[in-house]
Amino acid sequence: MTLRTARRSSLVDQVIDQLKGEIATGAWAVGTKIPPEPVLSEMLGVGRNTVREAVRALTHAGLLECRQGDGTYVRATSELSGVMRRRLRAAELLEILEVRRGLETEAARLAAARRTEADVAAIRRALRRCEERLAAGDRAGFVEADLAFHTAVVEATHNRVLVDLYGDFSEALRAAITTAADLLDHVEVPHAPIADAVAEGDAEAAERATQSCLEAVIRSIGGLPSG
């Protein structure tokens, strides 16, 4: 009995690892519907009960979401991101933005000290995308462009822990940014000074510019006094 249990557990773990691999590589992007249980069972060469247990485990971990009568969807790319999503759903927008300010301000300071020419080029491309989406009045596109810009800055730190942490946090942050974007129709969110300071290697200016950018958002929801 012990050996059968061990083999079964190992098989479920193998299926979990394979499903997580599809999610981590982007083959199954966040928001996409994964193949149904019978298809996964055939693809993996295992029983449907094994697939069901693996999907249940990933659902509990926050990576998948089962929608009654619809199917199972990818919700997050890692356990940490899943935990963050659950936590951020219960958090106040101001609390989320304050954490974001801390992460991105430190990232800008480090990026200014460590950026390469390739990093600067990536940040400039992301900046142009922000400006294009803003000029077009594309709110959803601007949310994605804004995240891409700050992700490019974080990547320029070359700190893998910070890059991974921000990647998980930014997934859970999308809803908060969308909510903030609804409040920012007439609020200037200056990204160019951040890009310029990082490119020039001015850590203090990069830190100040990032703080100014995010405080404009926080002030717009009443989290800081105006003026």
Q: Are 191 and 91 members of one domain?
A: yes
The verdict on 87 and 38 lying in the same domain is no
CATH of the domain at 107: 1.20.120.530
Counted domains in the chain = 2
CATH for 48: 1.10.10.10
Neighbours of 139 (CB within 10 A): 14
CA 193 to chain centre: 23
Which of 183, 211, 221, 174 is CA-nearest to residue 31?
174
Longest dimension (CA), the chain: 71
Quick one: 208 and 163 in the same domain?
yes
**Assigned token pair, 76:** 């997050």
Pair (111, 181) in one structural domain? yes
Same domain, residue pair 94 and 149:
yes
123: which 2 tokens?
Answer: 């940040």
Q: Which domain covers residue 29, as residue numbers?
A: 2-77
User: Which of these three, 18, 42, 77, is where a domain ends?
Assistant: 77
| pLDDT of the residue at 5 | 40
Q: What is the pLDDT of residue 76?
A: 78
One domain for residues 109 and 216: yes
Q: What residues of the chain score a pLDDT lower than 50?
A: 1-7, 227
Confidence at residue 4, expressed as pLDDT on a 0 to 100 scale: 40
The residue written with tokens 């703080």 in the block is 211
Q: List, for residues 130-163, the tens digit of each pLDDT value.
A: 999 888 888 888 888 988 999 999 999 999 999 9
Question: What pLDDT shows up at residue 194?
Answer: 96
| CB count in 10 Å sphere of residue 186 | 6
* Tokens (6 digits) for 47: 């029983």
Residue type, 36: P
225, part of any domain: no
